[in-house]
Every structure is written in structure tokens, then in C-alpha cells.
């Protein structure tokens, strides 16, 4: 059976969700996955988290406009498939490529995690635009997907470098749990409040992370309260940019930890 699910994101899109049974699994999933990835949602009618997850799955599939298929398998009606693919908890989502499971997750993942799962299979248009560095592409990425944190971070960096702190703050404020976005928001607030970190932030913008971190370490040691925490968040954003194994990031994380404790 095939049903249409209407998804409201930026525009309302319609994605065909295929309900698959054991008889059709070989052709509609295994064979089909040699042409496009097929994401299979193992679910049951009595499962509340399954119903919570469905809109995010359908939105992610719709955003990729036919580049990935979405199928649903009712485990109560198809226990053989659940056993074959070792479904021990639901919802269980498995992505098939070339006839085999390529990736999977279990549980009602939040929309951002679902998007990352689909992006690993087929990047959405928003994800592709977010990989660019020009302002037009980044703004379009956020129009298509307001949850596109990478695009928000890049756009905020461009705006901050131009001194447009108010708009930069508005761009990254919706992402308080993203370390880079939170650090850029903290930077914007520090600039708005008139703290003398212009040279430090200019070093950050030109890629001189050593000078930027040194300036932030000095400012952190000389301040307290909310300003001190904002400086810490800015440093964490730079650590995130550099990556966990970068020697400079490791050195300054140790220094920051020592200054805190």
C-alpha cells in the first residue's frame, strides 16, 4: 500500500511512504536500494514514539525529492522481517544501500539527528548549500531548513566580521546546544556590550587561532560573572572549529580548565 504524507516545513511537500510486507521487501527495498538508498522504519501501531518519529522521517525524505525512498514495516504483521534484521526495539530505522544495511538508529530521534542521518545518505539541498561559503547560498540554506546549524554558523561568522552583531546574534540564537553557534552568540553579545576584544575577534576571523585563544585566555582571567562565561563559550567555539585532536585546542582546553578550577 502507498500513502501520501503532507509535510509542512518551508513549503508543503508530499512524499510517498511505502508500506512494505515480507512479500515485497526483496524488490522494494533490497533491489531498489541498488538504485537509491531506501530508509526503512520498523514500527507498530501501538508504539507512541513511532508516531512521534514519523513526521521527521517524512520531512527528511521529502526534502530530498526522490533521491531516497522511505518505507514502513509493521513488525506485528511482518515478524519475519523484524527477526531477520534483529529489530529489538522500535522505532528502528535502517538505511539500505546496495542490498545491505548501511546505517541505522533506534528510538524517536529529534529532527536534527534525523536530518544528519539522511544527510549521510543523500545530502539535502540545504545541506549542499551549507557547504558553500558565500552569503547567498548560506541564506538560502536557512530558508530551506531553519535548523541548518552549519549554515547559521557560517553566516554568523560573515556578519560578525562585518560588524553586524545584531543580525549575527539573531541567526545563531536558535542553536543554543550547538557549541559553535553558542560561542558565536556569546561573541556577538560581548561585542554588543562594548568589551575590548576587537583585535582578538579579528584574529579569529583571519584564522589566527593561536592569537585569538591567547587573547580570550587573558580576558577570561581578568573578568567574572556573565562576561567570563561568554568568553568561555567563545573559546569552546574555537575548540570546536579546530577539532578535538588539534594540539592548540588541547593546550588551551587544559589552560581553561585550570583557570576555572
| pLDDT 10s digits, 31-88 | 999 999 999 999 999 999 999 999 999 999 988 888 999 999 999 999 999 999 999 9
Domain range for 112: 2-122
Both 67 and 154 in a single domain? no
Both 160 and 230 in a single domain? yes
Both 133 and 226 in a single domain? yes
Angstrom distance (rounded) from CA 86 to CA 155: 43
Exactly one of 17, 29, 50, 68 is catalytic; which is it?
A: 50
Instruction: Assess contact for 63 and 144: CB atoms under 8 A.
Output: yes
Exposure b/e, 146-175, CB count within 10 A at least 16 = b: eebbbbbbbbbbbbbeeeebeebbebbbeb
Both 54 and 91 in a single domain? yes
Mode of pairing for the β-strands spanning 2-8 and 12-19: antiparallel
List, in sequence order, every residue forming a beta bridge with 4; answer none if it has no partner.
Answer: 16
- Residue 8 reports pLDDT greater than 70: no
- Residue 232 reports pLDDT greater than 70: yes
Strands (E), 20-157: 38-43, 69-74, 92-97, 100-106
User: Which one is predicted more confidently, 22 or 11?
Assistant: 22
Query: Across residues 22-35, what is the average pLDDT?
Result: 95
Both 155 and 204 in a single domain? yes
The pLDDT value recorded for residue 12 is 34
Mean pLDDT, the chain, rounded, equals 90
Strands (E), the chain: 2-8, 12-19, 38-43, 69-74, 92-97, 100-106
Angstrom distance (rounded) from CA 153 to CA 76: 44
Angstrom distance (rounded) from CA 225 to CA 202: 24
What pTM was estimated for this model as a whole?
A: 0.66
> Grid coordinates 554568523 are at which residue?
156
The pLDDT value recorded for residue 2 is 39
180, three cell numbers: 559553535
Strands (E), 92-215: 92-97, 100-106
Angstrom distance (rounded) from CA 39 to CA 219: 49
- Residue 1 reports pLDDT greater than 80: no
The last residue of one of the domains, among 122, 141, 174, is 122
**Is 191 noted as a catalytic residue in this protein?**
no
- Residue 24 reports pLDDT greater than 50: yes
The last residue of one of the domains, among 122, 152, 182, is 122
Both 49 and 172 in a single domain? no
- Residue 194 reports pLDDT greater than 90: no
Q: What's the domain count of the chain?
A: 2
The last residue of one of the domains, among 64, 90, 122, is 122
Both 118 and 195 in a single domain? no
Instruction: Assess contact for 37 and 102: CB atoms under 8 A.
Output: yes
Both 28 and 116 in a single domain? yes
Both 138 and 167 in a single domain? yes
Both 130 and 255 in a single domain? yes
Residue 21 sits in a domain of what CATH number? 3.40.30.10
Q: Which residues have a Cβ under 8 Å from the Cβ of 58 and sit 6 or more positions away?
A: 5, 7, 15, 17, 70
Percent of the chain with pLDDT strictly greater than 70:
94
Both 41 and 135 in a single domain? no
DSSP 33: G
Count Cα atoms within 13 angstroms, Cβ side, for 96: 25
**Is 47 noted as a catalytic residue in this protein?**
yes
Both 89 and 215 in a single domain? no
- Per-residue confidence at 238, pLDDT binned at 50, 70, 90? very high
Percent of the chain with pLDDT strictly greater than 90:
80
CA-nearest of 124, 112, 119 to 176 is 112
Q: Which residues have a Cβ under 8 Å from the Cβ of 148 and sit 6 or more positions away?
A: 126, 127, 130, 141, 142
146 to 106, 142, 149, 172, 183: CA distances (angstroms): 25, 5, 8, 11, 19
Exactly one of 39, 47, 168, 190 is catalytic; which is it?
A: 47
Amino acid at each position: 500500500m502507498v500513502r501520501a504524507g503532507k509535510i509542512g516545513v518551508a513549503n508543503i511537500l508530499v512524499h510517498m511512504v511505502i508500506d512494505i510486507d515480507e512479500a515485497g521487501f526483496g524488490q522494494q527495498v533490497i533491489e531498489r536500494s541498488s538504485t537509491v538508498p531506501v530508509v526503512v522504519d520498523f514500527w507498530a501501531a501501538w508504539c507512541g514514539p513511532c508516531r512521534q518519529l514519523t513526521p521527521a522521517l517524512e520531512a527528511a525524505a521529502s526534502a530530498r525529492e526522490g533521491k531516497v525512498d522511505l518505507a514502513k514495516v509493521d513488525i506485528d504483521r511482518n515478524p519475519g522481517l523484524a527477526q531477520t534484521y534483529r529489530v529489538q526495539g522500535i522505532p528502528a530505522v535502517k538505511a539500505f544501500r546496495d542490498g545491505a544495511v548501511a546505517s541505522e538508529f533506534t528510538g524517536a530521534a529529534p529532527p536534527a539527528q534525523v536530518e544528519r542521518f539522511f544527510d549521510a545518505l543523500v545530502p539535502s539541498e540545504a545541506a549542499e548549500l551549507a557547504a558553500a561559503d558565500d552569503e547567498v547560498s548560506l541564506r538560502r540554506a536557512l530558508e530551506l531548513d531553519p535548523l541548518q546549524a552549519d549554515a547559521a554558523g557560517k553566516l554568523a561568522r560573515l556578519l560578525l566580521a562585518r560588524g553586524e552583531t545584531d543580525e549575527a546574534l539573531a541567526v545563531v540564537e536558535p542553536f543554543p546546544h550547538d557549541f559553535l553557534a553558542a560561542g558565536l552568540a556569546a561573541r556577538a553579545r560581548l561585542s554588543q556590550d562594548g568589551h575590548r576584544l576587537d583585535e582578538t575577534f579579528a584574529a579569529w576571523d583571519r584564522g589566527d587561532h593561536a592569537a585569538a585563544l591567547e587573547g580570550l585566555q587573558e580576558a577570561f582571567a581578568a573578568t567574572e560573572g556573565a562576561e567570563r562565561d561568554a568568553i568561555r563559550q567563545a573559546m569552546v567555539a574555537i575548540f570546536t572549529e579546530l577539532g578535538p585532536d588539534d594540539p592548540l585546542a588541547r593546550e588551551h582546553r587544559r589552560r581553561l580548565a585550570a583557570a576555572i578550577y
